[in-house]
Structure 1
Amino acid sequence: MKSYLFYDLETSGLNKSFDQILQFAAIRTDMHLKELERYNIVVSLRPDVVPSPMATITHRIGIEKCMEGICEYEAVRHIHALMNREGTISLGYNTLGFDDEFLRFAFHRNLLPPYTHQWANGCSRMDLLPITVLYHLYKPEGLTWPRLEDGRSTLKLEKLSQANALAEGQAHDALVDVEATLALARRFMAEGKMWEYVAGSFNKKEDALRLAKLPVRHESSAGQHAWGIMTGSRFGAEAAYQAPVLAIGESLPYKNQTLWLRLDDEALINGEGAVEERVWVIRKRMGEPNVILPPLDRFVSRLTPERLAQVEENLAWLKAHPDEFARIIRHHREFRYPEIPNLDADTCLYQNGFLSKAEEALCAKFHRAGPDAMAEAMQAMAPGHVRELATRILFRNYPEFSDEEVFEAFETFMARVHPQGEEPPMVDFRGDARLTPAAAMEEIARVRAEVSLDEEQGQLLDELEGYLSSNF
C-alpha cells in the first residue's frame, strides 16, 4: 500500500558526513494525507561527535537531553526500516536539499543500504520546498505568504507556519516541523490538479517526458538545445525563485545528471576568467529539484524586461561565439568531482561506490549478530572501510562489547577527532573540515559575543562548553 512518510531531522551540525541525527520525527499518512502513525526518536550523542554551537542554540537539544536517547545504530536501523517500508514516499521540507543526503551518510556509516529508499519496494521521494515555490509563484491564493523586514518574501517553514497557523510549538523541534509540513501539504493537495502536476515532477519518467517536450531555442555543433524556466529556492526572492535555462547535454561521468546553462547570467559575457568556469551551470537529476517549466507566456512573463533582454543578449553571444560555447559544453559534460586522498571511512560513500555482494552479505550477518556477537562478525570482514565502519559501530554504540581491536581503533580515531598542534582536522568528500573541539570552543565564544541569546540558549552553551572540556 502506498503511503507518505513526512519527516524531519534535527542534527548536531550541518556536516552530512561527520555530524549525526539528534532527533528524527515522522508522520505516516495514506495517499489522502490522513494520519496513520507517528514517530519521535531522540538519538544519543556519539562519543566522537562535537556538536555545533549554532545548531545547539537553534534546535535547543542540549547534552543532557541527548543522553536520554537511544544509540545511533539502533535509531538509524529503525529509520531505515521506516523509509524502506513497501510503497513509502518519503518527503519533508527541503529534505532533498539536506535531510535525505544526511540520512544517506547515516545509513552508509551504519552499514545499511544508502539508496534503497529511493527506488526499491515501490519507494520514492518528494520534497515540499520546491512544491511551495511553485504554489507561491502560480497558486498563491491558498496561503498567507510572509515577508521579511526588508520586504522580501521568505519561504522558511518557520515563517510560513507562523503566518498560517500550521502547527503549534517550538520551531526546529522535528515533530513540530513535521506537523507544519503535513498541514502545508494538505493546503496544497486541496488544489487537486496543481498537486498532481507538481507531484509528477518527482517521477523520473514523467519528469523526463516533460523535459523532452521543451522547445529548441538554440543550435550548436553539439546539437539542439531546449530551454525552459527553472524554479527553485536557490535563485532567491530577488529573482522570484526562477531562472531561464538552456539544456547543454548530460554529464559523461555521472549518467544521472543533466546540465542547464542559466541564460540571464551577466557573467557569460561580462565576467572575468575562463568562460567555461564563470558561467552558472546547474546539474539536475530526473525526478529531483529543480522543477523546469515550459517557456509558456504565463511563465516567461514573470521574468523582468531586464532579465529577458539579458537572455536575448546571451543567446546572441552564444551564436556569435560557437567555439566558446563548445568549450562550456565540453568542460561541464566532462567535469569530475576531484578525488580526495585518504578519505575517512565515514565520508567515502561516493568515492568508494557500491558494496560488493560479498560485503553486503557480511554486513547483513553483522546486523543479525546483535551487540554481543558483533565483534565476532566484524572479525570475519577483510581489512578495509567496511570493517573500519563495523569497528566504529561497536565503539560508538556498544563500548561494553568492544574487544582489544575495537578499543585501539577508538583511541586512534579520537586522536584524529581532537587533533593536537599543527595536525589538520579530517575533511569530508567536499574538502570541508570536521568540527574539532578547539574550533567548537572558539565558536562558542564568537556566538556569545555576536548573537543575542535568551537564558535557555546561554545555559545550553554553558552545558556544551562543560561537555567539551571534560570529554576531549
Structure 2
Amino acid sequence: MAFIFYDTETTGIDRHFDQILQFAAIRTDEEFNEIDRIERRCRLRPFAIPAPGALAVTGVSIEQCLNATHPTYYEMVSELQSALSEWSPSVFAGWNTIRFDEELFRQALYQNLYPPFLTNTNGNARADILTLAQAVALDLPDALIVPRNPRGRPSFKLDQLAPANGFAHENAHDAIADVEATIFIARLLRERAPEHWSNLMRFANKRSTIAFLQTEPFVVATEAYFGKLSQYALAPIGSNPDIDSEFYCLDITNDPVSLGSLSDAALRALLLRSPKPVRRIKANQSPSLKSWEEIDSFSGLDVDELLDRAEALQRDEDLKNRLLQTALELASVEYEQIHIEQQIYGGFPSKADQQLMDRFHRAPWTEREAVVAQFGDPRLRELGRRLLGEHAHDICSTEVRDYFQTLLHARLTGSGSDVPWRTIAKAREELEEASQTHPQASAILEGFERYLDGLEERVASGC
C-alpha cells in the first residue's frame, strides 16, 4: 500500500479556529520511493487572524499570508481534496498529524463543504510517525538519537530530532521540508525497529486495532503527555456504545480484586486520579500498542501476575460495567459545542445533503446560493453562506452579505463576548509576548502590528 506523508503550516495551534496556510504531501511506494508530490499555499481568510508567534517561528510575513497571487482557502482545499482522493487508497502518515494536522485538515474539508474524513475512509488508513518514534525511544533507546530540551527531557520536535539522526533539516517549519524529514525518520525506524514498524502498520487500520483489543487479555500502550513518555499495561473493560472505536481499559498495575469492594463514590474518585487508572484507546487514531507477549514484566510485575489480574477483571462483569459507566460519565463532561467549527463531529450529512455538496462545487457562483438554501443540515447552510460571503459577495443576496458582515465583526472583535478564537485584542496580547520571545523576527512582528492597525480601521468603518 502506498504512503502519503503530509504536513501543514497553520495560523496557530487551535484545531477548531486556526487555518492551514501551507499544505505539502509526498506520495511514496511501500519502500518510500517518491511517486508524486504536491505543495500549495493559500491566502488568509478574511475573518482569520494568525498567531504572531506562529508567523515568527515559520518566518512567514503577514504580507505573504495576504498575497493575492495565492489561491483562496477554498480553492486550495478543493485542489487538495481532488489530488488526495486520486492518490487513495494510501496510508496517510506524518509527524504528530493525528493530534494536530489531521484535525486542521478535517476542518478545512468540513468548512469548505467536503466530507471531512478523507484520510480514514475509502480504504485509507492513518499512522503517526511521532508516536512510533516515542515508543521506539522507550523500548529500543539505541535505535534513535533523541535530543534533550533545556529541562533535560527528551525532545521529539522534528526540527531537532531529524538533524540529530543525520537529516540535513535546513528549512524546518516549511511543510515540504518537514515531510521529507518525516520520511527520513520513518525509513530509519523501519530499518532499526522492524517489530515496532509492523505494529504501526497493523494499528493504522481501525478494524485491525479493534480485533486486537478484543482478543488480547491485556496490551501495552505508549502515551505522551506534555513531552513525558509513559507506558501502561491495559486490560479492556468495554467500548463506548455510541462510538465503536473508543475502548476503555484498566491499568492493571491496579489490582482489580481490590477495586471490586469500592463504593461508587470511591470508584469515581479513583478514576479522577493522575495518572488515570482507566484509559481510553481510540482505535481509529493509530494508537501505539504492542502485545503482552512482547514483554517479560511490567512495573515490577511479571507477566503471569498481569495475566492473572486481566483474567480476574474479565470474570468480574459488575466491576467492568461500573468502571465503564463511570469513565463514560466523566468523559461526557465537556464544553458546549456552540460554534460551527466545534460541531464537526455532530453527525454525518444525509445522502440528499451529500448530493447537494457535490452540486455546490460543480455549480457556478451565481447558482450556489440556491444550492445552499436547500441543505437540510444547518451546519452546511451556515458554512455555505460563509463561502458565499467570502467568494461571491457582490452577487449574493443582501441577507447573505449582512450575515457575512456580522460574522466578520464578531470574528475580529468578539462582539463583547469571551470567544475561543483569536480576536484583534487577543492578537495584540500575543504580539507583545512574541516580541519578547522572538526578537529575531522583529520585521515580521512589526508588519503584523501594522496589519492589526488596518483591521481596527476596517472595524471602525463597519468592516
TM-score, normalised by the number of residues in structure 2: 0.84
Instruction: Indicate if the aligned counterparts of 1:46 and 1:397 stay in contact, CA closer than 8 A.
Output: no
Instruction: Give the Å deviation of 1:394.
Output: 2.2
Give the Cα separation in 2 of the matches to 1:193 and 1:168: 25
Q: 2:212 aligns with which of 210, 213, 220?
A: 210
Identify if the C-alpha distance between structure 1 residues 140 and 82 changes in structure 2 by more than 3 Å, giving closer, same or farther: farther
Seen in structure 2, the aligned counterparts of structure 1 residues 382 and 323 have a Cα distance that, compared at 3 Å, is closer
Q: How does 1:288-437 map to 2 (within 5 A)?
A: 288-296=285-293, 299=295, 301=297, 303-305=298-300, 327-333=322-328, 337=332, 343-351=338-346, 353-381=347-375, 384-419=378-413, 422-425=416-419, 433-437=420-424
CA distance in 1, matches of 2:254, 2:421: 34
The gaps in structure 2 that reach 5 residues or longer are 457-463
Q: 1:54 to 1:324 in 2, by over 3 A?
A: farther
Q: What is the match of residue 446 of structure 1?
A: 433
Name 1:257's counterpart in structure 2.
246
Alignment of structure 1 residues 25-424 onto 2, 5 Å: 25-68=24-67, 69-85=70-86, 86-120=88-122, 122-191=123-192, 193-194=194-195, 195-215=197-217, 227-234=218-225, 236-237=227-228, 240-264=229-253, 274-278=269-273, 279-296=276-293, 299=295, 301=297, 303-305=298-300, 327-333=322-328, 337=332, 343-351=338-346, 353-381=347-375, 384-419=378-413, 422-424=416-418
Provide the rounded CA distance (Å) in 2 between the counterparts of 1:95 and 1:79: 16
Which whole-Å deviations, capped at 9, do the CAs of 1:123-172 have from their partners, x for residues lacking one? 22211112212332334444333223444322221211120232432321
Moved more, 282-291 or 396-405: 396-405
TM-score, scaled relative to structure 1: 0.82
Aligned pairs, number: 439
1-side partners of 2:412 and 2:72: how far apart? 22
Instruction: Flag the 1:318–1:200 CA change in 2: closer, same or farther, 3 A.
Output: closer
3-state SS of 1:172 partner: coil
Query: 1:465 deviation in Å?
Result: 1.8
SS at match of 1:196: helix
- Distance in 2, Cα, partners of 1:384 & 1:209: 37
The alignment partner of 1:274 has SS state of helix
Q: Percent identity?
A: 29
CA deviation after TM superposition for structure 1 residue 16, in Å: 1.8
- Say if 1:262 and 1:280, in contact at 8 Å, map to a contact too: yes
Provide the rounded CA distance (Å) in 2 between the counterparts of 1:261 and 1:8.
34
Contact map agreement 2:366 2:395 (CA 8 A) in 1? yes
The residue that corresponds to 1:466 in the other structure is 450
**C-alpha distance in structure 2 between counterparts of 1:420 and 1:288, whole Å:** 34
Conservation of the 8 A alpha-carbon contact between 1:214 and 1:228: yes
Contact 2:92 2:126 in 1 (8 A): yes
Could you tell me how far 1:340 is from its partner in structure 2?
6.1
Q: What is the letter of the counterpart of residue 342 of structure 2?
A: T
8 A contact 2:268–2:326 mirrored in 1:
no
Report the alpha carbon displacement of residue 276 of structure 1 after superposing the two structures with TM: 3.7
Once residues 371 and 317 of structure 2 are traced to their aligned partners in structure 1, the CA distance between those partners, rounded to angstroms, is 59
In the TM superposition, structure 1's runs of 4+ consecutive aligned residues that sit over 6 Å from their partners are 321-325
**Aligned CA distance change for structure 1 residues 235 and 382 (closer, same or farther; 3 Å):** closer
Which digits, 9 at most, give the CA deviation of each residue in 1:413-469, with x for residues without a partner? 1222134674332xxxxxxx11221111112113334x2x243x2222222222122
Contact kept? 1:253, 1:335, Cα under 8 Å: no
Contact 2:106 2:117 in 1 (8 A): yes
CA distances 1:17-52 after superposition (whole Å, capped 9, x unpaired): 211101101111112111111221111000100111
When the two chains are superposed, the root-mean-square deviation of aligned CA atoms in Å is: 3.4
**What displacement does 1:386 show?**
1.4
Instruction: Give how far 1:254 is off.
Output: 2.0
The answer to whether the 8 A contact 2:11-2:51 is kept is yes
| Structure 2 counterpart SS, 1:233 | strand
